[in-house]
């Protein structure tokens, strides 16, 4: 039985989350709390496997409570986030502080997709409950100092043999992506395209946050634009990002179709487009996430000579997407997320 504590100042949200979670016979909400201070006491008392934590609460907000949880009694925490600019920024900060993922507040609304919503919530709780969470380091250099810190230079072997890196990532992705990109040098010679499963309200702030802590340029993709080396393109939530060729020009394009894709953005759609346009001149990488999005794209890229990387089990929040390509024997290398930046820098010369 997975034991959960729900912390939220809304009685409706506490009831809704409890109801949805307990429809799964393997999950039990052992207690609820209405603010961060009460939540800490309840967590100490019940020692749950997973905590859901609202961000905006009276007396003690979610970020403050999260800091206490991670310092005193680290465990998987899912943030409850509003789909606003402020909510996105606070949620990304929470994930930097140690939260493993987030749940949009709209999950509690009655809708035609309530069954799917319940399943997603239940699956997240069940997946993250299996992970051991370590307290983050208490002292971190300021953003400016981190940005100025030298990064290891790529091993130069003449001209790069690969021009594009396509990354698929989901649950637990933002901290993983930040860890990798922040280690890349400003002169990283390839372009990077990322499909991160994330709502549309989050991808813009996510790209801006990455750009502020990375030496390499990071932006949210928009419209259609020429592919530029040394640039990271984040797919906007609710849409797809693809690589396409127009004459001699390579373009990054944002697409609405296929509208019925299970994930928007889809790692499969991104990586398949990179396979078609770049083939052996591309690297495909799959990071932490539930499910198997990216498997079909990686298979296509591998068949065309692409080089394939996967995050290892030990460093994933959820070892689903990487496991799918590892089990299919499609990977050339498997790395801890701490070593992935160096692996990407090496891979473009292989």
Phi, psi of 45 (to 5 degrees): -75, -45
Q: Of these residues, 293, 315, 335, 347, which one is catalytic?
A: 293
Gap between the Cα atoms of 151 and 153, Å rounded: 6
How distant is the alpha carbon of residue 226 from its chain centre? 25
Per the annotation, the verdict on 266 as an active-site residue is no
Q: Of these residues, 129, 170, 191, 347, which one is catalytic?
A: 170
C-beta separation of 8 from 54 below 8 A = yes
DSSP state of 13: H
In sequence order, what are the beta bridge partners of 67? none
Q: What is the CA radius of gyration of the chain?
A: 20
Among the residues of the chain, which ranges form H helices?
Answer: 11-22, 36-46, 62-72, 85-97, 114-128, 143-148, 173-181, 200-213, 267-278, 295-303, 321-327, 340-347
Q: Which two tokens stand for residue 271?
A: 């990586």
Q: Of these residues, 127, 197, 240, 335, which one is catalytic?
A: 197
Nearest to 21 by CA among 113, 130, 107, 111: 107
In sequence order, what are the beta bridge partners of 308? 284
C-beta separation of 157 from 336 below 8 A = no
Nearest to 54 by CA among 7, 97, 21: 7
Per the annotation, the verdict on 54 as an active-site residue is no
Per the annotation, the verdict on 49 as an active-site residue is no
Positions marked active-site:
170, 197, 293
């Amino acid at each position: 039985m997975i034991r959960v504590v729900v912390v939220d100042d809304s009685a409706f949200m506490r009831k809704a989350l409890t109801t949805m979670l307990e429809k799964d016979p393997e999950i039990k909400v052992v207690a609820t709390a209405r603010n961060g201070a009460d939540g800490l006491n309840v967590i100490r008392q019940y020692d749950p496997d997973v905590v859901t934590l609202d961000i905006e609460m009276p007396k003690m907000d979610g970020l403050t409570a999260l800091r206490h949880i991670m310092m005193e009694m680290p465990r998987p925490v899912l943030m409850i986030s509003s789909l606003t600019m402020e909510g996105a920024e606070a949620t990304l900060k929470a994930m930097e502080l140690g939260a493993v993922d987030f749940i949009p507040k709209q999950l509690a609304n009655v809708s035609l997709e309530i069954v799917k919503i319940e399943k997603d919530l239940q699956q997240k709780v069940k997946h993250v409950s299996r992970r051991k969470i370590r307290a983050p380091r208490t002292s971190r250099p300021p953003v400016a100092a981190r940005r100025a810190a030298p990064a290891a230079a790529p091993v130069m072997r003449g001209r790069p043999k690969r021009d594009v890196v396509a990354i698929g990532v989901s649950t637990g992705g933002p901290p993983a992506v930040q860890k990798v990109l922040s280690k890349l040098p400003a002169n990283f010679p390839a372009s990077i395209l990322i499909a991160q499963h994330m709502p549309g309200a989050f991808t813009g702030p996510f790209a801006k946050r990455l750009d502020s802590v990375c030496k390499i340029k990071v932006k949210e993709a928009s419209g259609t634009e020429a592919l530029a080396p040394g640039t990271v393109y984040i797919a906007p939530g609710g849409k797809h990002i693809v690589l396409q060729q127009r004459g001699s020009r390579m373009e990054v394009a944002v697409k609405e179709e296929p509208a019925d894709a299970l994930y928007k953005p889809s790692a499969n759609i991104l990586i398949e487009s990179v396979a078609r346009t770049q083939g052996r001149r591309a690297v495909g990488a799959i990071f932490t996430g539930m499910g198997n999005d990216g498997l079909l794209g990686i298979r296509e890229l591998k068949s065309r000579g692409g080089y394939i990387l996967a995050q290892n089990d030990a460093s994933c929040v959820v070892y689903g997407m990487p496991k799918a390509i590892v089990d299919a024997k499609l990977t050339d290398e498997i790395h801890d997320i701490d070593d992935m930046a160096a692996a990407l820098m090496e891979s473009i010369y292989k």
